Amino acid sequence: MNFFKSAAMAAALIFLGTPPAMADGRCHDDGRIYYAVIDAGHAGREYGATSWNGGHEYDYNQRFVRELTERLEKEQIPYILSGFHPDKNTLPDRTDKTGPHAVFLSFHHDSVSPIYCNLNASPCETDYAAGYSLFVSSRNPYYGPSSGIASEIAAELRREGFKNSVHHAENIPGEGRPMLDRNGVFQFDDLVVLRKSRGPAVLMEIGVIVNRRDEARISSRKVRSRYIDAVVRVLKRHIRLDNPGS
Ligand SMILES: [Zn+2]
Query: What's the gap in Å between 49 CA and the centre of ligand 1?
Result: 6
Give me the mean pLDDT over the 36-43 stretch.
96
Q: Which amino acid is at 226?
A: R
pLDDT given for residue 52 in this prediction: 97
CA of 43 to the centre of ligand 1 (A): 10
pLDDT at 84: 80
Which residues, 6 or more positions from 149, have their beta carbon under 8 angstroms from its beta carbon?
103, 200, 202, 234, 238
Helix (H) or strand (E) holding 238: helix 221-238
Nearest to 193 by CA among 111, 135, 131: 135
Distance, CA of 90 to CA of 83 (rounded, Å): 9
What spacing in Å lies between the alpha carbon of 138 and ligand 1's midpoint? 19
The string of pLDDT tens digits covering residues 158-216 is: 999 999 999 999 999 999 999 999 999 999 999 999 999 999 999 999 999 999 999 99
Q: What phi, psi does 164 have (nearest 5°)?
A: -95, 160
Ligand 1: centre distance to CA 106 (Å):
9
Number of neighbouring beta carbons within 10 Å of residue 29: 14
pLDDT at 83: 81
The string of pLDDT tens digits covering residues 196-210 is: 999 999 999 999 999
Say whether pLDDT at 22 is over 50.
no
CA of 47 to the centre of ligand 1 (A): 8
Closest CA to 128 of 211, 219, 213, 215: 211
pLDDT score at 241: 83
Q: How far is the CA of 203 from the centre of ligand 1 (A)?
A: 9
The residue among 28 and 33 whose pLDDT is bigger is 33
Query: Above pLDDT 90, what percent of the chain?
Result: 78
Residue 58 CA, ligand 1 centroid: distance in Å: 8
Task: Report the separation in Å between the CA atom of 110 and the middle of ligand 1, taken as the mean of its atom positions.
Answer: 6
Q: How far apart are CA 7 and CA 12, in angstroms?
A: 8
Q: How far is 41 from 61, CA to CA, in rounded Å?
A: 6
pLDDT of residue 28: 56
d(CA 130, CA 209): 8
| The pLDDT of residue 115 is above 80 | yes
User: Is pLDDT at 14 greater than 60 in this prediction?
Assistant: no
Ordered domains of the chain (ranges, CATH): 35-238 (3.40.630.40)
Distance, CA of 100 to CA of 237 (rounded, Å): 17
pLDDT in tens, 139-153: 999 999 999 999 999
How many angstroms separate the alpha carbon of residue 28 from the centre of ligand 1? 33
Strand-pair partners of 133: 205
Q: How far is the CA of 145 from the centre of ligand 1 (A)?
A: 23
